[in-house]
Structure 1
Amino acid sequence: MRSWLVPVHYLIVPTESPAGSLRAPRSDVTGPAPELIWPDSLIQPQRPPALIYLDLNHWIGIAKANVGRATGGGYMALLDAARTAKREAAAVFVLSDSLFIEMSNIADPRQRRDLADVMEELTSFTIMLSRPSVTRLELQAAIEGIVGPGPERYAPLDLLSTRLAHGFGKRGNLLIKDSEGNDVTMNLRAEMGAEKFDAMMAAMERDANRMLLRGPQDDELDDLRLRGYKPEAHRQVTQNRLDQELELVAILNREPKNWRKGRLRDVVGGRELVIELNDMIVMALMPRGLSVDNLVEGDRAKIRSFARCMPGCEVAIELKTQYHRDPSKRWMVNDIYDIDALAVAVPYCDAVFTDAAARSILVKAGFEGRMKTALPRTPDELVGILAALPRSR
Structure 2
Amino acid sequence: MTFELSDDGRVLRIYLDQNKWVDLARAATGHRLGAPFADALAMARAGVAAGTVSFPLDMYRYWETGKRGDDRSRNDVADVMLELSRQHTMTVPFGILDQELDLALQRRLGRPEHPRRQAVFGVGMQHITQSRMKWPELDLAALPDSGAGLPRGLRAQLKNAVAEVIEEELLRAGPETFRAHGFDHADSDHSQRFVDFENHLAAEIAKHGLTGDAIDEVVRGTDFGDIRPAIVEALDRIGVVYEEFMQDITVGQLLSFVDDLPTRYVTNVMRSAKHRQTQQEWEPNDFIDIVALPVAAVYCDVVVTEKQWVHMMRQSKVDQRYNTILISNVADLVNVLVKASLM
CA apart distance, 1:335: 0.9
Any residues of structure 2 matched to 1:1-393 within 5 Å, and which?
Answer: 46=6, 48-71=10-33, 74-150=36-112, 153-154=115-116, 156-170=117-131, 174=135, 176=137, 192-216=150-174, 218=176, 220-221=177-178, 223-225=180-182, 229-232=183-186, 235-253=188-206, 255=207, 257-275=208-226, 277-287=227-237, 288-291=239-242, 293-294=244-245, 297-390=248-341
- Return the structure number with greater relative CO, CA threshold 8 A, min gap 6: 1
Percentage of pairs with the same residue? 23
Unaligned ranges ≥5, structure 2: 140-144
Cα distance between partner residues in 2 of 1:370 and 1:333: 28
Q: Is the 8 A contact 1:48 1:391 kept in 2?
A: no
Structure with a larger share of its residues in helix: 2
- 3-state secondary structure, aligned to 2:112: coil
State how many pairs are aligned.
332
The 3 A distance-change label for structure 1 pair 96 and 318 is same
The 3 A distance-change label for structure 1 pair 157 and 189 is farther
TM-score w.r.t. length of structure 1: 0.77
- 3-state secondary structure, aligned to 1:329: coil
Q: Is the 8 A contact 1:49 1:391 kept in 2?
A: no
- 3-state secondary structure, aligned to 1:375: strand
Deviation string, structure 1 residues 213-234 (Cα, Å, up to 9, x no partner): 112363x456422xxx35456x
Q: Is the 8 A contact 1:323 1:329 kept in 2?
A: yes
- 3-state secondary structure, aligned to 1:271: helix
CA apart distance, 1:159: 1.4
Q: Is the 8 A contact 2:87 2:124 kept in 1?
A: yes
Amino acid at match of 1:322: A
Amino acid at match of 1:283: E
Q: Is the 8 A contact 1:89 1:391 kept in 2?
A: no
Cα distance between partner residues in 2 of 1:189 and 1:290: 55
Deviation string, structure 1 residues 12-49 (Cα, Å, up to 9, x no partner): xxxxxxxxxxxxxxxxxxxxxxxxxxxxxxxx664611
Q: Is the 8 A contact 1:147 1:295 kept in 2?
A: no
CA apart distance, 1:293: 4.6
Deviation string, structure 1 residues 139-163 (Cα, Å, up to 9, x no partner): 1111121112238753x33211112
Deviation string, structure 1 residues 300-334 (Cα, Å, up to 9, x no partner): 11111101011111100100000011112221222
Deviation string, structure 1 residues 119-149 (Cα, Å, up to 9, x no partner): 0000001111111111111111111211122
Cα distance between partner residues in 1 of 2:33 and 2:256: 44
- 3-state secondary structure, aligned to 1:297: coil
CA apart distance, 1:100: 1.7
Unaligned ranges ≥5, structure 1: 1-43, 179-186
Deviation string, structure 1 residues 167-208 (Cα, Å, up to 9, x no partner): 234358746289xxxxxxxx9786533122111111111111
